[in-house]
Structure 1
Amino acid sequence: MSNYIRFDWAMKRLLRDKANFSVLEGLLTTLLNEKITISRLLESESNQESEFDKYNRVDLLAEDSKGELILFEIQNNNEYAYFQRILFGTSKLVTEYIYRGNGYEKIRKIYSINIVYFSLGCGTDFVYHGKTEFRGMHNNELLELSPFQKQTFKVDAVSELYPEYYILKVNDFNRWSKLPLEQWIYFLNTGEIPADATAPGLPEAREKLKLDKLSKDELKAYYRHLDNIVILRDNIHTEREEGRLEGRAEG
Structure 2
Amino acid sequence: MKFANPTNDVAFRKVFGNKKKLALISFLNAVIKLPSRKPITKVTLLNPYQLPKLSGGKSTIVDVKATDGEGNNYLVEMQVTEATDFEKRIQYYVAQNYSGQIVQGNKYQKLKPIYFIGILKFNIGKNPNYFTKHRVHDVETQENVLKEMEFNFIQLKRFKKKIEDLITPIDQWAYFLKNAEDLEIIPKNVKDKGLKAAYLEADRHNWTKDEAEYYLKAEIKERDELGALELAEKRGEEKGRVEGRVEGRVEGRVEGRVEGRVEGIEIGEERMVEKIILSKYPKFSVAQLAELTDLTEDEVIAILKKHDKM
Unpaired segments of 5 or more residues in structure 1? 144-156
Q: Is the 8 A contact 1:63 1:70 kept in 2?
A: yes
Q: Is the 8 A contact 2:17 2:47 kept in 1?
A: no
User: Residues 43 and 208 from structure 1, CA distance in 2 versus in 1: closer, same or farther, beyond 3 angstroms?
Assistant: closer
The match for 1:169 among 155, 172, 175 is: 155
Secondary structure of the structure 1 residue equivalent to 2:16: coil
Aligned partner of 1:152 in structure 2 is none
- Matching of residue 74 in structure 1 with residue 74 in structure 2: no
CA distance in 1, matches of 2:154, 2:101: 26
Aligned partner of 2:166 in structure 1 is 178
User: Residues 182 and 15 from structure 1, CA distance in 2 versus in 1: closer, same or farther, beyond 3 angstroms?
Assistant: closer
Shift of 1:5: 4.9
Q: Provide the alpha-carbon RMSD of the alignment.
A: 2.7
Q: Is the 8 A contact 2:2 2:205 kept in 1?
A: no
User: Residues 85 and 200 from structure 1, CA distance in 2 versus in 1: closer, same or farther, beyond 3 angstroms?
Assistant: farther
Shift of 1:159: 3.8
CA distance in 2, matches of 1:60, 1:76: 15
Q: Is the 8 A contact 1:23 1:205 kept in 2?
A: yes
Aligned partner of 1:95 in structure 2 is 99
Q: Is the 8 A contact 2:11 2:215 kept in 1?
A: no
CA distance in 1, matches of 2:152, 2:54: 23
CA distance in 1, matches of 2:227, 2:125: 21
Aligned partner of 2:27 in structure 1 is 27
Unpaired segments of 5 or more residues in structure 2? 245-310
Q: Is the 8 A contact 2:2 2:203 kept in 1?
A: no
Q: Say which one has the larger Rg.
A: 2
CA distance in 2, matches of 1:229, 1:219: 15
Shift of 1:102: 2.2
The match for 1:208 among 173, 176, 201 is: 201
Normalized against structure 2, the TM-score is what?
0.66
CA distance in 2, matches of 1:38, 1:99: 26
Aligned partner of 2:258 in structure 1 is none
CA distance in 1, matches of 2:192, 2:43: 21
Secondary structure of the structure 1 residue equivalent to 2:128: coil
Q: Is the 8 A contact 2:66 2:73 kept in 1?
A: yes
User: Residues 158 and 50 from structure 1, CA distance in 2 versus in 1: closer, same or farther, beyond 3 angstroms?
Assistant: farther
User: Residues 49 and 42 from structure 1, CA distance in 2 versus in 1: closer, same or farther, beyond 3 angstroms?
Assistant: farther
Secondary structure of the structure 2 residue equivalent to 1:118: coil
Secondary structure of the structure 1 residue equivalent to 2:141: coil
Pairs within 5 Å for 1:185-224 = 185-191=174-180, 192=183, 193-199=186-192, 201-224=194-217
Normalized against structure 1, the TM-score is what?
0.80
Higher helix share: 2
CA distance in 1, matches of 2:234, 2:190: 39
Q: Is the 8 A contact 2:204 2:212 kept in 1?
A: yes
CA distance in 1, matches of 2:91, 2:214: 32
User: Residues 186 and 43 from structure 1, CA distance in 2 versus in 1: closer, same or farther, beyond 3 angstroms?
Assistant: closer
Identity between Structure 1 and Structure 2 (%): 24
- Residue type of the alignment partner of 1:195: K
